[in-house]
Chain A
Amino acid sequence: MALSELRNKIAIVGVGYTEQGKVPGRTAVSFHCEAIRNAVRDAGIDKNDIGALLLYRHFDAIGGDYDVTAFTVAEQLGIRPQVLSQETYCTRSWLYHVAGMLASGLCRYVVLSYGDNGRSARRSFVKELNKGAATDELAAYGDLSTMAKYAMLARRAQETYGTGPDIWKEIAIAQRRWANINPKAAMYRKVLDDETYYNTAYVTEPFRLLDATPNSDGGRALIFTTAELAKGLEQPPVLIRGFGSSNQPLSPYRLDALDSESAAAQAGRQAFDMAGVSKDDIDACELYDCFTYTVEATLRDYGFFRPEEVKEFLSRERLGPGGEFPVNTSGGMLSEAYFMGLTPVSEGVMQLRGQCGERQLGSYPGTKTPELIMCGDNGAVLQSHVSLILERMD
């Protein structure tokens, strides 16, 4: 089957939000359940019609919490989907699962959910902190964090084509400006200026603390169905016009900083081809932004700018509120909240529905009503990527 046959056949019909930011005293599973309940109500579907429940990444339970599995979430929601699944590692394969189950007719509604108490319970992404000993041979070199692995590629990019903190600061400030007008964002009304960015110490040079996403408490859920079933529901359906998925199973230190076959490059190309559109047709991007540089790498690998254009392209004016190319309009994970790929994808849906309040594209001064929004979800160290081109159903 040609992928183009699936163009606009799958819809996102429900978005579930929860309390978010710093919400102490809550379990991770409670955020999953709240997000899914709210997504079910948002879509106006019967919870008993959920055919598949997919949970984002399986994290170690922390802060006295119990282990979270798809089985636990289904139990607590009182549902019995035919498919229960959970991604174990930081790779992205949910999109093909969703598309396959819906296109084949095996499921009517698929739920994708994320929930964590990572901020209050202080989740660490350093495995050695949890285990107390080395979990691989790289620990012998003090190579412990995910941030170190992204920073290594960012440094190579810096010395190859002249990106660096001056550029990453623009991404951080542009997204902060979006968060400043999003009441749900952690950084609502908290202004970030150049001086504050530069005065923040390096953590893993060349990255400063403000180049990295903080943890959040909370959850987010999406409901997917077919374009046919989407028509009679509560919300204006948002269609997946094109999508792409790519994994590059190479250890991070074997990746090249500039690679025309990176996971993002392949996934983006597939999404453009399937949608039958080009980068010039895209009105805004909502992208996975674990680090500022991740946004740069994704936009570059999607083909929005060439490496030598980096300084000119990535400016706060272009990406921020009122700019010609809005990126991460909720504030993103850097400044809104960390719900992995569900932060960008849900924002893409809400923008196309026209439900984003002050930050709504088309009503915020200087912006246009979006027709196509490109969303990206990234996993591992730029090794796994899912890309979606969304449009509103007329």
Chain B
Amino acid sequence: MKAEFFEPGISADTKGFWEGCKEHKLLIQKCDCCGRLRWPAAYICPECLSEKFSYKEMAQEATLYSYITVRKPFHPSVEEKLPYYVIDVELEGGIRMISNLVGAEGKFPKCGDRLRLKWEDYGAYSKPVYELED
């Protein structure tokens, strides 16, 4: 089963990320001035305060920083998805991002596990999720 929850709330700042997702590209802002990567998306760089940036397409591989297993519904709409994993993923360059771990039934994830990017497509948006690397 796909891990569909809410349609993401998309702002003027986060639009570029979600447009990249539609093309199955994980686009992360990279500051043109100091080179720092940032997620969540923001208008200016929290390091050097420049507003100039480019999108960098991130690699498929990532590392599991941490994870939780949601076992009780916090909202009626997620009840039939239980249990599900929300994960804190470390991408190249050390930046971290929230996602879901999928296809992990019967497996026991651990912090530090290697992950591989996968895409889930819905009508209005596509979402990056991760699987454990074998």
Binding site for B on A (CB under 8 A): 126, 128-129, 133-145, 147-148, 151-153, 155-156, 159-160, 201-206, 251, 253-254, 257
Contact = CB atoms under 8 A, between A and B. Distances in A.
Contacts of B96: 253-254
Contact of A142 (B72, B78, B111): B78
22 contacts: A128-B6, A134-B7, A136-B9, A137-B10, A138-B98, A139-B6, A142-B3, A142-B6, A142-B70, A143-B86, A144-B74, A148-B70, A148-B74, A152-B68, A155-B67, A155-B68, A156-B88, A159-B66, A201-B72, A202-B71, A206-B68, A253-B97
A202 B69 contact: yes
B111 A139 contact: no
Nearest to A203: B72
Contacts of A206: 68
Contacts of A137: 8-10, 14, 17-18, 40
A-B CB proximity, top 8 nearest: A140-B8, A139-B6, A205-B69, A134-B6, A156-B66, A142-B5, A134-B9, A137-B8
A212 B119 CA distance: 34
A141 B68 contact: no
B98 A253 contact: yes
Given A141-B86, A142-B5, A205-B83, 11 more contacts: A137-B18, A141-B5, A144-B75, A148-B68, A152-B67, A152-B86, A155-B67, A155-B68, A202-B72, A253-B97, A257-B66
B72 to A, nearest CB: 4
A160 B88 CA distance: 15
Interface in B94-119: 95-100, 110-112
Contacts of A141: 3, 5, 86, 98-100, 127
Interface of B: 3, 5-10, 14, 17-18, 40, 65-72, 74-75, 78, 81, 83-84, 86, 88, 95-100, 110-112, 125, 127
A136 B11 CA distance: 8
A204 B72 CA distance: 7
B75 A128 contact: yes
Nearest to A140: B8
Contacts of A140: 5-8, 125, 127
Contacts of B83: 205
Contacts of A142: 3, 5-6, 70, 78, 81, 84, 86, 100
Contacts of A133: 6-7, 9
Contacts of B9: 133-137, 139
A257 B74 CA distance: 24
A205 B87 CA distance: 12
Contacts of B127: 140-141
B74 A145 contact: yes
A152 B66 contact: yes
A152 B69 CA distance: 9
Contacts of A135: 9
Contacts of B75: 126, 128-129, 144
A139 to B, nearest CB: 4
Nearest to B18: A137
Nearest to A254: B96
A201 B72 CA distance: 9
A140 B66 CA distance: 18
Q: Which of A136, A140, A156, A160 has the most CB of B within 10 A?
A: A140
Contacts of A138: 8, 98
A198 to B, nearest CB: 15
B3 A153 contact: no
Contacts of A160: 111
Contacts of A204: 68-72
Given A139-B9, A142-B86, A152-B66, A205 B100 contact: no
A155 B66 CA distance: 6
Contacts of A153: 66
B68 A144 contact: no
B98 A143 contact: yes
Nearest to A249: B46
Nearest to B68: A151
Contacts of B71: 201-205
Contacts of B125: 140
